[in-house]
């Protein structure tokens, strides 16, 4: 199979590494890719928002399967565009991608199908938002409806904060994403992520993970796209995984099919595990980043063959197999991230770090500048290690991180603290 992979982050590097292992792969093309992906694929300079360019590239290269990494092209309908010209694509159509693209759609969908999630009110004006805040009391969560690159959610502890969040959303700060908002009940518990591989009808459990969203040690500082992750998530016992698959993921897949928008692709459920079991916080319609960098290295099955089966609606009766080890990934980011940071600073030592056993350095925001590897984004590398348990994976990951020489970068030193402490207690 000739495969075209769309995206340029650490998630896409992890997807490329998994695809490259498949005996069914004849050629891997990436658009736009990055220097890590370039070791596994032919990279083409087509941007992720250039849907015409993507369709033209897939046609010119007679691609058998397009694999879409990030959410924006999915929400914009790249799968629909490819299907219209007869090209197979792994990922949801625009109609199915509303599970990530519109929080109001997802909340109302959950209500229609009895899927456990926080109580909510859909608000079309600041006035409705303020009334909903008063009705719920605090703590309360205010969310912009559309895609807001992680900036659309405010967990407010006080009424003043909650009302200010409503004004912020409807004040136009988030553009079209903030035209509507959802105000919802605060859920208490521990967060975990669950991934499923979905073919329109059948959902297979594809692993679980926990990530660290805050920028600094001790889960302090601003929210980011994710500073590190580990898999599996100790909080999700096999019984809780079954419960989440049966009460949340499978009813979602059945409901989407029933409503005429069958879901195909990776379904990423953000869960809150509290006293009355797992509840849905949100859906994403693609793999997580950096969750892909810890879940995919544990998958034993052939990812390409599975993706092709998902597109063909042929997953029924299958079960995925995982390595028993824990995978843990530490993100190296440019100093200043998630605020302002400089690009183009040199990174040394990646090849030395990669020579360590059971370590992979995934590239996220990197570029080549005449033979030198330089930074080209906020999150720049994700250093993943496999270990017998979280404590060992953590030790191996940081030993590899310490071989990377990049004075303009930083990382958290406590990724996996909760899981590593649990592993040490045995
Ligand atoms: P989201 O983009 O919907 O995943 O929200 C971002 C983060 O806000 C989540 O990872 C949670 O930490 C937090 N959050 C969102 N909704 C809730 C809720 N209903 N209760 C508690 N925390 C929430
Ligand atoms: N790491 C969170 C996400 O990919 O959305």
pLDDT tens for 244-294 read 999 999 999 999 999 999 999 999 999 999 998 999 999 999 999 999 999
Helix (H, G, I), strand (E, B) or coil at 392: helix
* 194 token code pair: 């669950």
Question: For residue 367, what are the CA distances in angstroms to 9, 89, 160, 359, 383?
Answer: 11, 27, 44, 21, 17
Q: Ligand 1 center to residue 155 CA distance, Å?
A: 7
Query: By the 8 A CB rule, do 208 and 192 touch?
Result: yes
- Type and span of the H or E element at 187: none
Nearest CA to ligand 2 atom 5: 288
Atom index in ligand 1 nearest the CA of residue 187 equals 20
Residue 294 near residue 230, CB atoms below 8 Å: yes
Name residues whose C-beta falls within 8 Å of residue 378's C-beta, 6 or more positions apart in sequence: 224, 225, 333, 334, 337, 338, 341, 365
Phi, psi of 363 (to 5 degrees): -90, 140
What are the pLDDT digits (tens) for 95-150?
A: 999 999 998 899 999 999 999 999 999 899 999 999 999 999 899 999 887 776 66
Residue with tokens 């990934």: 329
pLDDT in tens, 45-74: 999 999 999 999 999 999 999 999 999 999
Using the predicted structure, report yes or no on whether residue 177 has a pLDDT greater than 90: no
Instruction: Tell the residue nearest (CA) to atom 4 of ligand 2.
Output: 288
Question: Global pTM?
Answer: 0.95
Cβ–ligand 2 distance for 100 under 6 Å, the answer no
| Bond preceding residue 32 cis, omega within 30 of 0 | yes
For range 169-190, the mean pLDDT: 83
Q: Is 36 in the pocket of ligand 2 (CB under 6 A)?
A: no
In ligand 1, the atom with minimum distance to the C-alpha of 184 is 19
Domains of the chain in start order, with CATH, are: 2-94 (3.40.50.20), 125-179 (3.30.1490.20), 190-311 (3.30.470.20), 326-425 (3.90.600.10)
C-alpha of residue 189 to centroid of ligand 1, in Å? 11
In SS3 terms, 197-226 reads as: EEECCCEEEEEEEEECCEEEHHHEEEECCC
User: Is 173 a residue whose pLDDT tops 90?
Assistant: no
Of 241, 231, 326, which is closest to residue 278 (Cα–Cα)?
A: 241
What pLDDT was estimated at residue 178? 63
Looking at residue 336, what DSSP letter applies?
T
Measured from the alpha carbon of residue 288, the closest ligand is: 2
181 pLDDT above the threshold of 90: no
Q: Using the atom order of ligand 2, give the atom closest to the CA of residue 229.
A: 1
CA of 281 to the centre of ligand 1 (A): 6
Which pLDDT value is given to residue 229? 98
Helix extents (H) in 155-302: 159-170, 238-244, 250-258, 292-295
* Paired strand residues for 194: 208, 269
Average pLDDT of the residues in 395-414: 98
pLDDT(84) > 90: yes
Residues 6+ apart with CB under 8 A from 160: none
State the distance between the two ends of the chain, measured CA to CA, in whole angstroms.
Answer: 44
Q: What is the mean pLDDT of residues 356-360?
A: 95
Mean pLDDT for the stretch of residues 403-425: 92
The ligand 2 atom nearest the CA atom of 288: 4
Query: Taking 90 as the threshold, does the pLDDT of residue 174 lie above it?
Result: no
Question: What single string gives the DSSP state of each residue in 92-149?
Answer: --TTTTHHHH-HHHHHHHHHHHT--B--EEEESSHHHHHHHHHHH-SSEEEEESS--T
- Mean pLDDT estimate for the chain: 95
Ligand 1 binding pocket includes 42 (Cβ within 6 Å)? no
Residue 341 has pLDDT above 80, yes or no: yes
Contact 84, 250 (CB under 8 A): no
- Ligand 1 centroid to Cα of residue 118, in Å, is 10
Task: Tell me which H or E stretch contains 52.
Answer: helix 51-60
Percentage of the chain beyond pLDDT 70 is: 98
pLDDT for 419 equals 86
Once rounded to an integer, what is the mean pLDDT over residues 297-317? 98
Of residues 155 and 259, the one with the higher pLDDT is 259
What pLDDT score does 326 carry?
A: 98
Report the nearest-CA residue for atom 16 of ligand 1.
281
CA of 10 to the centre of ligand 2 (A): 11
Residues of the chain above pLDDT 90, percent: 88
């Amino acid at each position: 199979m000739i495969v075209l992979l769309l995206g340029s982050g650490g998630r896409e590097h992890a997807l490329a590494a998994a695809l490259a292992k498949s005996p069914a792969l004849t050629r891997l093309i990436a658009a736009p890719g990055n220097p890590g992906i370039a070791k596994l694929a032919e990279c083409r300079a087509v941007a992720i928002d250039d849907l015409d360019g993507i369709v033209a590239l897939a046609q010119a290269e007679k691609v058998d399967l397009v694999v879409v990494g990030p959410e924006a092209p999915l929400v914009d309908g790249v799968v629909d565009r490819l299907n219209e010209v007869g090209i197979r694509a792994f990922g949801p159509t625009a109609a199915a991608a509303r599970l990530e693209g519109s929080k109001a759609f997802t909340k109302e969908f959950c209500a229609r199908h009895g899927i456990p999630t926080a109580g909510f009110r859909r608000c079309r004006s600041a006035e409705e938002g303020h009334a909903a805040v008063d009705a719920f009391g605090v703590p309360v969560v205010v969310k912009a409806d559309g895609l807001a690159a992680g900036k659309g959610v405010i967990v407010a502890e006080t009424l003043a904060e909650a009302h200010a969040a409503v004004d912020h959303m409807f004040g136009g700060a988030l553009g079209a994403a903030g035209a509507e908002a959802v105000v919802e009940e605060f859920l208490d518990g521990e967060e975990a992520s669950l991934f499923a591989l979905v073919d329109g009808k059948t959902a297979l459990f594809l692993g679980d993970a926990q990530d660290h969203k805050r920028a600094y040690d001790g889960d302090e500082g601003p929210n980011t796209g994710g500073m590190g992750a580990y898999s599996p998530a100790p909080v999700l016992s096999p019984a809780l995984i079954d419960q989440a698959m049966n009460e949340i993921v499978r009813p979602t897949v059945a409901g989407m099919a029933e409503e005429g928008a069958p879901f195909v692709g990776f379904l990423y459920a953000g869960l809150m595990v509290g006293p009355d079991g797992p509840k849905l916080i949100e859906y994403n319609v693609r793999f997580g980043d950096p969750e892909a960098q810890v879940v995919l290295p544990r998958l034993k099955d052939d990812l390409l063959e599975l993706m092709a089966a998902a597109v063909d609606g042929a997953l029924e009766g299958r079960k995925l197999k995982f390595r028993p080890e824990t995978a843990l990934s530490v993100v190296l980011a440019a100093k200043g991230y998630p605020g302002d940071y400089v690009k183009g600073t040199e990174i040394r030592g990646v090849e030395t770090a990669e020579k360590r056993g059971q370590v992979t350095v995934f590239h996220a925001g990197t570029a080549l500048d005449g033979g030198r590897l330089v930074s080209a984004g906020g999150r720049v590398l994700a250093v993943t290690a496999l270990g017998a348990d979280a404590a060992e994976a953590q030790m191996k990951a940081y030993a590899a991180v310490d071989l990377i020489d990049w004075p303009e970068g930083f990382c958290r030193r406590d990724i996996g603290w909760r899981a590593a402490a649990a592993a040490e207690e045995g």
